[in-house]
Amino acid sequence: MDAHTSNIESIDITKIREEFPILLRKISGQPIAYFDNAATSQKPLSVINAISEYYETINSNVHRGIHTLSEEATEAYENSREKVRRFINAQSSGEIVFTKGTTDGINLVASSFGTNVVGEGDEVIISEMEHHSNLVPWQNLCESRRAKLKYIPVNDKGELMMDEFRTMINEKTKLISVVYVSNSLGTVNPISEIIEIAHSFNIPVLVDAAQAAPHMKIDVSTLDCDFLAFSGHKMYGPTGIGILYGKEKHLESMPPYQFGGEMIKSVTYDNTVFNVLPYKFEAGTPNIAGAIVLGTAVDFMERLGHENIHNREMELLAHANKLFSEIGDIRIIGTAENKTSLISFIINGIHPYDTGSILDNFGIAVRTGFHCTQPLIEQRFKLPGTVRASFAFYNTFEEIDRLAAGIRKVKSMLL
């Protein structure tokens, strides 16, 4: 494969990049090479413009309003929910709850479902590679319930040790919450298998799909997961909006998480009757623009096609891997068979902070540090942090060439 041409004809990279105005920016006099996509993706014009369009044409509070704007905003809001339902192939739109983001969704489950099913002496299983957002809520739940939190171990390649996992389950296990794709290693976990095993013991599974949503087709019906959470801002959508999918039977059984407008059916001074799904979990005025425009982000991804996105990103990853292997003194953290387009690495003897600082001066944006997986990086891999370059389909081979050249320069400056 010629490293500098993509064999994906379905995405015209030059053209698609024009849809991302921020990619034209210069940093330190150089065009930006944005490799911090796992933290948040950039947004296409269709998404940016849809926000303006919402505010310029139909902005209004949703539900209960009988005037035209309110009806139009409500329709757009519910249409977006339906788009998301299709996007992840949920059974009903009552299972699609708009949240603030992945963290909000996981906290909702930990609070409303967790306290229902986890009692004293029980056990919750997560993994060693969880993002803080899928770790600290369970630490907190287990502490307050006097339950035990267990971690599926991670091998040196950054893969879950499935044999260990099997032995960790017992009759006290009440909940399993695992990340679909690791944000610091890139590992795509065998989530179907985990769910299958868990269900054979009747244990519900929450999937943290924050890093899966931007990169692969999610199918909650096929996965049969009990809950699944992701964020809009990582999948080309706006900030402040996310999705919690939950099986109807679970959502029905759970108490509301927040209380207020929208989530009630009727209120008296003595008593409140809660609303039906999904509204029971959407207290207060929602992020209306965010929710509607999340639908635009879904449209955008479906226009590109999951297959095309995946293929393009795999080519970028292969190119980067090839260049990195030629540089030397680089240690890649996370070398699983099944990975998304992300490389976490350190240059031997150089602190990630130094690497990131110098790369920034070449206009290259990488993330450095623990990537919100401090125990994984510090306790499991015994590192002071890593440098993470995470690619989106709109990155180019040339940008990756610049990254490789930048790393060589860092080495020559610091070693």
Ligand X SMILES: Cc1ncc(COP(=O)(O)O)c(C=O)c1O
List, by residue number, the catalytic residues: 372
Determine phi and psi for 270, rounding to 5 degrees. Answer: -105, -20
Q: Which of 1, 146, 353, 398 binds other proteins (CB under 8 A)?
A: 353
Which 374-393 residues touch its own copies, going by CB under 8 A?
A: 374-375, 378-379
CB 409 within 8 A of CB 328: no
Give the residue, chosen from 360, 374, 375, 405, that forms a contact with other proteins under the rule CB under 8 A: 360
Task: Tell whether residue 100 is a contact of its own copies (CB under 8 A).
Answer: yes
Pairing of strands 264-267, 272-274: antiparallel
C-alpha span between 297 and 1 (Å, rounded): 31
Binding mask 56-75 for its own copies (x = CB under 8 A): xxxxxx--xxxxxxx-----
- Total of residues contacting other proteins (CB under 8 A): 28
| 123-127 and 148-152 beta bridge pairing | parallel
For residues 198 and 205, the answer to whether their CB atoms sit within 8 Å is yes
Residues 242-301 that bind other proteins (CB under 8 A): 265
- By CB under 8 A, the residues from 374 to 393 that bind other proteins are 384-385
Contacting residues toward ligand X, per CB under 6 A: 101-103, 131, 133-134, 179, 183, 208, 210-211, 231, 261, 284-285, 372
Residue 224 interacting entry, from other proteins, its own copies, ligand X, none, C-beta within 5 to 8 Å by type:
none
Q: Is the omega angle on the peptide bond into residue 375 within 30 degrees of 0, that is, cis? A: no
Q: Does 365 contact its own copies by CB under 8 A? A: yes
CA gap 71, 172 in Å, rounded: 48
Q: Nearest-CA neighbor of 257 among 367, 151, 113? A: 113
Q: Residues 208, 131: contact at Cβ < 8 Å?
A: yes
> Please, which residue, 131 or 411, has the CB nearer to ligand X?
131
In the complex, what is the shortest distance from the CB of residue 283 to ligand X, in angstroms, rounded to a whole number?
8
Regarding 231 and contact with other proteins (CB under 8 A), the answer is: no
Distances (CA, A) of 350 to 275, 358, 397: 56, 12, 25
User: Using CB under 8 A, which residues numbered 56 to 95 contact other proteins?
Assistant: 64-68, 70-72, 74-75
Tokens representing residue 157 in the block: 């390649």
* Binding region for other proteins (CB under 8 A): 28, 64-68, 70-72, 74-75, 265, 350-354, 356-358, 360-361, 368-369, 384-385, 413-414
